[in-house]
Amino acid sequence: MAPPAACTITPGSLDDLPRVMPLVASVGWPHRAEDVAPALALGKIWRAMDPDTGDLLGIAVWWPMEPNAGRVGLVIVSPDAQGHGIGRALMDRVLDDTGPRSLKLLATKEGQPLYEKLGFKSVGRSQKHQGVFEGTPKPHPTVARAGIEDLAAIARIDERVLGVNRGDIPRHLFETGEVNVLHKDGEISGFAILRPFGKGYVLGPLVAESEGDALALLHATVKPGLLRVDRFTEAEHLGERLNGLGLKGLEVTDIMVRGDWPAGDATLRAFAMASHAWG
């Protein structure tokens, strides 16, 4: 589909950050520039520009993941320009780029009708938990702070549980976060990453073999202050525990997939995600 007459769709780059931040704020998202910059740096960006003023009207980003998959996120059209086909035109460019790749995304209520028209189907849901945590972390005998020597094992677990290799994303999360690992039989069998995001911290990914292990990682990794966890809704005990810690269950968001997403290793479970964009 051709872009609407009043906008030009072109590839973007990290240089667009100063124009992207007002767009992010215009739809009420909490991301800081420090949160958006890595998303732009590691992704493929499409921008919709007003050809007369040069204003940024919209953006869509996708991140390649192997084999033959990708995530889509940061899909935003300026409120003044919504409803004129710009979101559709941006997504058409993403689909041209990604060809036969299977794609995954988290759909807001506003985005869902667009994604359904493009062949995305709901495969699950996640819930945002957020609140001020006033307790302290609880050490656990099998949970320890990770060192750089653990990065390769963490990236392998990340790939096994998601079914895709996220390239440089695990390293970025590792380098910006506080990382705890859970050991079983001398091996790393789960991990949790807490990193600054928005006005506080986000805890995720949270990956373990069992919900008991995930709870041990959660309690060892939390820290006081504003905290967010994007929980996969099947993790019901985790939901109860988060509510108990003062992180109230808020919006529920559909996880949507187009094509056949590669299967993950069923011996592992992802309990919480790094972000809506990256999963």
Ligand X SMILES: CC(C)(COP(=O)(O)OP(=O)(O)OC[C@H]1O[C@@H](n2cnc3c(N)ncnc32)[C@H](O)[C@@H]1OP(=O)(O)O)[C@@H](O)C(=O)NCCC(=O)NCCS
Binding residues vs ligand X (CB under 6 A): 27, 75-77, 82-88, 107-108, 110-111, 113-114, 117
Q: Smaller CB distance to ligand X: residue 57 or 206?
A: 57
Quote the least distance from Cβ 45 to ligand X, whole Å.
14
- Min. distance of Cβ 114 from ligand X in angstroms? 4
Closest to ligand X by CB, 90 vs 208, is: 90
Sorted by sequence, the CB contacts under 8 Å of residue 228 that are 6+ apart come out as 128, 129, 130, 197, 198, 200, 201, 202, 203, 247
Nearest to ligand X of 113, 212 (CB atom) = 113
**In whole angstroms, how close is the CB of 38 to ligand X at the nearest point?**
18
Select 7 or 218, whichever has its Cβ closest to ligand X: 7
> CB neighbours (10 Å) of residue 263?
7
Q: Report the DSSP pairing between strands 200-208 and 225-232.
A: parallel
Backbone phi, psi, residue 27, to 5°: -105, 10
Min separation Cβ 233 and ligand X, Å: 17
Q: How far is the CB of 198 from ligand X (least distance, A)?
A: 16
- Is 163 within 8 Å of 173 (Cβ atoms)? no
Residue of this chain nearest to ligand X (CB atom): 87
**Residue 59 or 235 with smaller CB distance to ligand X:** 59
Q: What is the token pair recorded at 51? A: 């050809």
CA 208, CA 119: separation in Å to the nearest integer?
Answer: 31
